[in-house]
Chains A and B, each alone.
Chain A
């Protein structure tokens, strides 16, 4: 569909009324994203794709910063940049004040888009996405005093290395007051912190909470979104609880203990027990070394020692009446051998402390 050019026109009244600047964009597609209209355009002059997102400024809550000006003021490699913004005229309601914010188009889309395409992330890639996304969030918090208030996998765009991740959609971002709080905006999602409904204000700890769920999706695949209705999510949050079931919230068995502790601290129900700054979280994440684990069969996990080395170690769980017998094996050519000093470990479940210690040892071996 080609839009009437006047909708996207830039008029330069100060030069001459008959001169009109136009963004000669062809609308290729409407993108399903949030509550605002989002379009994918092709810029014929620069021969590149752009994304346009429309906002009716009269519908924006008083505590919400206008996205265009907010984005414009933030220059950071991990925050989505704004290319331009335009007023959109021609709506039948004369009170509407619609603007369209134009940003670059990132074909990989968001983490959610990638997960729904069936893509999975290696451990090192997941950590790179987390680390870079966190830098973008840290810039919002520390550099601009802004809370995003709507972080979720769908609002983190993926790019190639070295950027890896971009924070997008500051549509409900709000400025923190002197005490570090911003009013809660009631837009419940699976990623929302429990205090969205139980407290009146959100803090940096509230903004960091969703990162626990995003980390879980990066490592373990998408949540079964369809199983959670909006009303269910709202009710759980009203009760001060995480809407996700324990099963859906659980990290894969191979995740090292150090990263489990970070995840637990991120997703603590009490905001006081969470990370209080993105910097503090970043420092803990930087200490985690995560090998490239792959589940290659039922109860069988291979891991590579580096991107170039290929398979290096295997952890195997054999079922028996007592539970599982876990063994670490090392690839020696095409054969598997038990590394010296690593005896098999009997556990009743894979969530046992002893089972986690086996995966920790294997992770350390692969990274040594």
Chain B
């Protein structure tokens, strides 16, 4: 079974997939080829831009036969620039909308809870081997780590 994890960083949706079966030990296996980075459409802010982004997220979900979507909640509560907040809310909305349309469970989890599950209190120090990567995959340090970790957390909830 495959589970998606999402981290929104710098206005980009990082979406990772972890595979884990019910009788499988460990935290699952990250699927490098399923990783995607989606950016909101450039240009003027339009309502159709949200739909377009949702469609792109949904196509990823369709391609990989996902069972749940887990989003890493932010710990940043102050000093938001409006442009940053707008990009994050747009991205979150697209992910939530896509999950709802696909009738998939959607949860938001704090990094601390994910770290606790993966036995890595400081999530940013997560070893790629935790999800069966020999070396850190591309984009690991720029959003991939959190997305994979969220996917592994989602697998734990469902399996």
Q: Do A and B bind each other?
A: yes
User: Whose C-beta in chain B lies nearest to the C-beta of A136?
Assistant: B59
Q: Is the CB of A367 within 8 A of B51?
A: no
Q: Which residues of chain B come closer than 8 Å to A161, judged between CB atoms?
A: 48
Which single member of B36, B37, B42 contacts A367 (CB below 8 Å)? B42
Does B38 lie at the interface of the complex (its beta carbon under 8 Å from any beta carbon of A)? yes
Taken residue by residue from 16 to 55, chain B's Cβ proximity to chain A (1 for < 8 Å, 0 otherwise) reads as 0000000000000000000011110111100010011001
Q: Does B81 contact A (CB under 8 A)?
A: no
* Residue on A nearest B38 in the bound complex, by CB: A286
Interchain CA distance A289-B41 in the complex, whole Å: 8
Instruction: Kindly state the separation between the CA atoms of A54 and B148 in the bound complex, as whole angstroms.
Output: 49
Residues in B neighbouring A138, C-beta threshold 8 A: 59, 63
In the bound complex, do residue B55 and residue A135 qualify as a contact, i.e. CB atoms below 8 Å apart?
yes
The answer to whether B43 touches A143 (Cβ under 8 A) is no
Contact A142 B63 (CB under 8 A): yes
Question: Is A195 an interface residue, CB under 8 A from the partner?
Answer: no
**B76 in the interface (beta carbon within 8 A):** no
Give the number of residues in A that approach B within 8 Å (Cβ atoms): 22
Q: With a CB–CB cut-off of 8 A, which chain B residues contact A131? A: 52
Q: Which size class do B's interface residues fall under?
A: 10 to 19
The interface centre, meaning the residue of A132, A162, A367 with most chain B CB atoms within 10 A of its CB, is A162
B43 touches A162 (CB 8 A): no
Contacts of B51 in A (CB 8 A): 162
Complex interface: chain B residues within 8 A of A139 (CB): 59, 62
Residue B156 at the chain A interface, CB threshold 8 Å: no
For the complex, give the distance between the alpha carbons of A142 and B39 in Å: 22
- Nearest chain B residue, comparing its CB with the CB of A127: B41
Among residues 126 to 173 in chain A, which have CB atoms less than 8 Å away from a CB atom of chain B?
A: 131-132, 135, 138-139, 142-143, 161-162
Specify which of A132, A286, A306 lies most central, judged by the most chain B CB atoms within 10 Å of its CB: A286
Partner of B42 from the list A162, A283, A289 (CB cut-off 8 Å) is A289
* Interfacial residues of chain A within 262-314, with CB under 8 A of chain B in the complex: 279, 282-283, 286-287, 289, 306-308
A59 to B30 CA separation, bound complex (whole angstroms):
46
Contacts of A307 in B (CB 8 A): 44
Q: Given the complex, which residues of A lie within 8 Å of B59, measured CB to CB?
A: 135, 138-139, 279, 282
- Distance of B82 from chain A, by nearest CB (Å): 18
Please state if A286 and B44 are interface contacts (CB–CB under 8 Å): no
Question: Inside 8 A of A306's CB, which chain B residues have their CB?
Answer: 43-44
Nearest B residue (CB) for A308? B44
CB pair A279–B63 under 8 Å, yes or no, is: yes
Say whether B56 faces chain A, with CB atoms less than 8 Å apart: yes
CA–CA, A143 to B37, complex, Å? 20
Residues of A within 8 A of B56 (CB): 282, 286
**20 CB < 8 A contacts A-B:** A76-B62, A135-B55, A138-B59, A138-B63, A139-B59, A142-B62, A142-B63, A143-B62, A161-B48, A162-B51, A282-B56, A282-B59, A283-B36, A283-B37, A286-B39, A286-B41, A286-B56, A289-B42, A307-B44, A308-B44
- Beyond known contacts A139-B59, A287-B39: 14 more, CB 8 A cutoff: A77-B55, A124-B43, A131-B52, A135-B55, A135-B59, A162-B51, A279-B36, A279-B63, A282-B56, A283-B37, A286-B56, A289-B42, A289-B43, A367-B42
